[in-house]
Structure 1
Amino acid sequence: MQTAKVKVKDMVSSAKEKAKEATASAQGEAGEATAATHGEKEMAKEEERARKAQASADKHQEKAEHRADAAAAGRHGTTRVPLSGPHGHHGAPAADSAYPATEKHPAYI
């Protein structure tokens, strides 16, 4: 279920990026159209490239946040099981007074 949520969030981030890129393109074209000199046109192109690069960086940042959120939510507050130790054994069994302590089992003597 987590991967489906992450995929949907990633698709939303991609859609946001495409919208930002379209806006950057429109603003760049408008800037080029209103530019009077060659230098102003180059400046408009650079601003458009910078806006598109920022949109892409924002998308990648959001995707990384989605992965981090999914990793944190997937644990549900559980702790890790240690790789050494008794693993669920609760110490030595209590001595039973019905059977005396011997070195070997009575059937094998």
Structure 2
Amino acid sequence: MKSVKQKISDMASTAKEKMVICQAKADEKAEQAMARTKEEKEIAHQRRKVKEAEANMDMHMAKAAHAEDKLIAKQSHYHVTHGTHVAQPAPVSAPVPVMGHGYGHNPAGLTSVPPPAYPPSGQHQA
């Protein structure tokens, strides 16, 4: 059984569709009154059909959205969000510290990474 809110929303969508269709019919009559050839009258008729189809599609899309809202509200107690998981971005490496008295003032060829305190494994200093 539909909820009251969904039923009222559906009725509003249907009323809006009927208003759009009525406006499309009025526009068609105005275009046909100004039309001079049979082809222009047919174009006006086809435009009305397009507007009616768009209104019908919009009404059905709105009804689907109303049903979805009802479903979400109905199942909201199943989706408890006490500890909502938010994906964390990948860590960003910190900039390398610069030797010298300011940024970009290292002499050419120097790096800010200190040499290792002991030789790598497998190599012995002579």
TM-score (norm 1): 0.68
Q: Distance in 2 between matches of 1:35 and 1:77?
A: 59
Q: Structure with the greater relative contact order (CA < 8 A, sep ≥ 6): 1 or 2?
A: 1
Instruction: Look up the equivalent residue of 1:42 and give its one-letter code.
Output: E
CA distance in 1, matches of 2:51, 2:61: 15
Deviation (angstroms), 1:56: 0.6
Matched, 1:7 2:7: yes
Larger Rg: 2
Within 5 A, what are the aligned runs for 1:48-63?
A: 48-63=48-63
Partner of 2:42: 42
**Which structure's residues are more often helix, by fraction?**
1
Q: Map 1:73-88; keep pairs closer than 5 Å.
A: 73-79=73-79
Note if 1:68 corresponds to 2:68.
yes
Unpaired stretches in structure 1, ≥5 consecutive residues: 80-109
TM-score by length of 2: 0.59
In the TM superposition, residue 75 of structure 1 has moved relative to its aligned partner by 1.5
SS in 2 for 1:36: coil
Q: Shift of the alpha carbon at 1:74?
A: 1.1
In 1: Cα distance, 2:27 partner to 2:70 partner: 36
Runs (4+) off by over 6 Å: none
- Identify the residue that residue 28 of structure 2 maps to in structure 1: 28
User: Structure 1 counterpart of 2:40, which letter?
Assistant: E
Name the CA distance, whole Å, in 2 between partners of 1:61 and 1:76.
22
CA RMSD, Structure 1 to Structure 2 (Å): 1.5
* C-alpha separation in 1, matches of 2:19 and 2:49: 14
**Could you tell me how far 1:19 is from its partner in structure 2?**
0.4
2:48 alignment partner, SS class: helix
Work out the number of aligned pairs and report it: 79
Identity of aligned residues (%): 36
Offset, 1:76: 2.1
Runs of at least 5 residues in structure 2 that lack an aligned partner in the other structure:
80-126
The one-letter code of the counterpart of 1:37 is T
The CA deviation string for residues 51-85 of structure 1, in whole angstroms up to 9 with x for no partner, is 01111111000000000111011112424xxxxxx
